[in-house]
Amino acid sequence: MQCPFCQKRSRTHVVDSRTIKAGRAIRRRRECGACDQRFTTYEEVEIVRLVILKRDGTKEEYNRAKIEDGLRRSLQKRPVSEEKLQRTLTAIEYDLQSRENKEIKSRAVGKVVMQHLKVLDDVAFIRFASVYKAIGSADSFRKVINEFMKED
Ligand SMILES: [Zn+2]
């Protein structure tokens, strides 16, 4: 990394590292190996615009709030903290964004959400799966559940 003070591409020493923006970025305090000056770097998760391909063939821009809404409804009155909910939401988003294809079928989004809910809370998982079925999955509810339970 090039030092902004001496312009040398020397090895830097990280003197402090902390996550910011609710874990979405890392701020690092570095010390130049050549001149000992300190500077700060930021490492941030690249937010890629995702497009959701709906069952009816239409496209829709990915909306975090929609996923959050689905999670909240599934987790209603369940002993899962707000922090865990937010972590799960972020994990789901990372999964979706790390996919090669930036156009994702709504069915695939549902599957990713289910995979995370299954780990988080059984009841929420079942609830979400039933809604997921209601929005038009070709598979029967039972088949969807069985498919996921088998993965244990
Ligand atoms: Zn330097």
How many domains does the chain contain in total?
Answer: 2
Same domain, 125 and 56: yes
147 falls in which pLDDT band (50, 70, 90)? low
Same domain, 36 and 92: no
CB 75 within 8 A of CB 82: no
- Model pLDDT, residue 133: 63
**Distance from the CA of 24 to the center of ligand 1, in angstroms?**
28
Q: In this structure, what token pair is assigned to residue 128?
A: 């979400």
Structural domain of residue 16, as residue ranges? 12-44
Is the pTM above the cut of 0.75?
Answer: no
Same domain, 63 and 119: yes
Number of H helices, E strands in the chain: 5, 6
Asked if residue 132 is part of any domain, the answer here is yes
Q: Over the stretch 51-105, which tens digit does the pLDDT of each residue have?
A: 999 888 899 988 888 899 989 999 999 999 999 999 999 899 889 988 888 899 9
Same domain, 129 and 107: yes
Asked if residue 1 is part of any domain, the answer here is no
The stretch 128-150 carries a mean pLDDT of 64
**Distance from the CA of 31 to the center of ligand 1, in angstroms?**
8
State how far the Cα of 125 lies from the Cα of 28, in Å rounded to an integer: 38
Buried b (16+ CB within 10 A) or exposed e, 78-113: eebeeeebeebbeebbeebbeeeeeebebbebbbbb
**Distance from the CA of 40 to the center of ligand 1, in angstroms?**
12
